[in-house]
Amino acid sequence: MLMSRRIDNRHLIGHAVLMAMFATASLGRSPTHRQTTAPEIPKPQIPMSRAPNKENQEAGPPKAEVQQDARKKYDRKLTRAILDDSLSIGRQFLLNHQKPEGNFNYSYNFVDQEFATADNAVRQAGALWGLSLVHRDNPTEESRQALIRGFAFFERHSKLIDPNSRFIIYPKKTVGKTGTIALTSLALIEFLRTETTMADRPKYERDLDAYLSFLISLRRDDGLFHGKYDLQSGKGKGKPSPYSDGEALLALAKAAKYLGRTQYKPMILESADRMYVERVTQPRKKDRDSNTTKGFYQWGSMAFYEIHEAGWGKGDRFSKRTIELAEWMIDVHKTLKRTKNTAYAQEGLAVAWELARKSNNKEAMNRIGAVLDKAMYKLTSWQVGGPLQHKNRFLSSNTTIDPLSVGGVMNSKKDPWLRIDVAQHQMHAIILLKTFAYKD
């Protein structure tokens, strides 16, 4: 059970209306472990290199299932207008949940109007990346200032171990997570891609290089990354994680491709090939629906997409791997049958769709496109105040104008807890769909 903190209703707009609205709501309540002290919240706003061998041969999709499920042309239910409306309020949800100090409220129960006391450093950095993505999609002064506050928060809670290397010490944590560094780097990358003429750009360039330098120090000789690091020395420790391996690979690939950090290209290619073996090929020999592959899935897919689009590596192996992983996500992991939020999977499927389009693989393009449309239509109906809220019984029974609720996305069809990472993944999936499959 999530521990939580009840909100002082004086901080909410129209609290009398909201109290009446929630008087009879009972689902998803957490009656124990509550604190009475309200957290500070921002002013609410109503949203407007290895040779080929048996180990690293490409692993094809399970043929029987792929052939059995060859798609016919699918009539879309999603529209660009639905995506635009959803992204608009999802963006505001992230902005409204940033605290004055720069990090975010981790999770909020929109029925009971209370915050969880749990926190997660990696997902906090992920929320900052999400904010940088929505800022890149639609740059405003509000989102720019929010990003500056976020970067300042992580800089305050960090340690410079030499003039060119910095690691994050997130409050109340006893060990550092590699994913925190990778996602903070990704946030800076998108910020620098957007803010090309800002006066203090050199400062953020230095910050990015310091985080990337530390990230490289966590890379092992086999091309994978330590999953954790010591908060005193900054030394890498622990086994590699499929999540942070993929996150680190994506950060390095984007830094090299978009911001000229091409010195990382050889290690990017070496790590990408090794990760495919260790996170995809080998685990699926033991378990076709491997949790290791699931953890690596969207991060690896997005990194492979960037590598292929940059024209690195021989042939089209990274494109083929991305499309094959999409087939796995559809046929083996069966993303459409999952009862939890799968926006993370749609991030990977979106880039696979684009690679299928570019390679004129119409069968894969149709199959992936159909799954994307079905999945995102369903997930959009899980957004509080979203354009498809009327499709969800739980949301229809718990309507709200609470600015800390509107735009948030549930993790299942009747889960009142709205997490920042769920919103971040879903907003990024929408941005990718707008960029590729739903341009108009």
In a domain, 200, yes or no: yes
- For the chain, report the end-to-end CA distance as a whole number of angstroms: 43
pLDDT computed for residue 313 by the predictor: 83
The secondary structure element, H or E, covering residue 180 is: helix 178-194
In a domain, 436, yes or no: no
In a domain, 291, yes or no: yes
Phi-psi region of 102 (alpha: psi -120 to 50; beta: other; left: phi over 0): left
Take residue 263 and report the two structure tokens written for it. Answer: 């010195």
E-only strand ranges, 57-199: 107-109, 114-116, 158-162, 165-168, 176-177
Provide the domain limits for residue 231.
120-310
pLDDT tens track, the chain, 440 positions:
444 555 444 344 333 333 333 333 333 333 333 333 334 444 444 333 333 343 344 444 444 343 334 445 678 999 999 999 999 999 999 999 999 999 999 999 999 999 999 999 999 999 999 999 999 999 999 999 999 999 999 999 999 998 899 999 999 999 999 999 999 999 999 999 999 999 999 999 999 999 999 999 999 999 999 999 999 999 999 999 999 999 999 999 999 999 999 999 999 999 999 999 999 999 999 999 999 999 999 999 999 999 999 999 888 999 999 999 999 999 999 999 999 999 999 999 999 999 999 999 999 999 999 999 999 999 999 999 999 999 999 999 999 999 999 999 999 999 999 999 999 999 999 999 999 999 98
In a domain, 172, yes or no: yes
In a domain, 418, yes or no: no
Q: Give how many domains the chain has, as a whole number.
A: 1
Characterize the bridge pairing of strands 114-116 and 107-109.
antiparallel
**From residue 86, how far is each of 66, 319, 370, 408 by CA, in Å?**
32, 29, 19, 10
Task: Supply the angle between the helices 343-358 and 291-310 in degrees, to the nearest 10.
Answer: 40
pLDDT computed for residue 73 by the predictor: 67
- Integer Cα distance of 227 and 244 in angstroms: 6
Beta-ladder partners of 176: 229
Strand order across the beta sheet in which 34-35 lies: 34-35, 4-6, 114-116, 107-109, 417-419
Other beta carbons within 10 Å of 117: 15
The secondary structure element, H or E, covering residue 34 is: strand 34-35
| Count of H-run helices and E-run strands, the chain | 16, 10
Residue count (the chain): 440
In a domain, 288, yes or no: yes
Decide: helix, strand or coil at residue 228.
strand
- Integer Cα distance of 282 and 288 in angstroms: 10
Beta-ladder partners of 114: 6, 109
Report CA dihedral (149, 154, 156, 161) to the nearest 10 degrees: -150
In a domain, 298, yes or no: yes
In a domain, 355, yes or no: no
CATH number at residue 293: 1.50.10.20
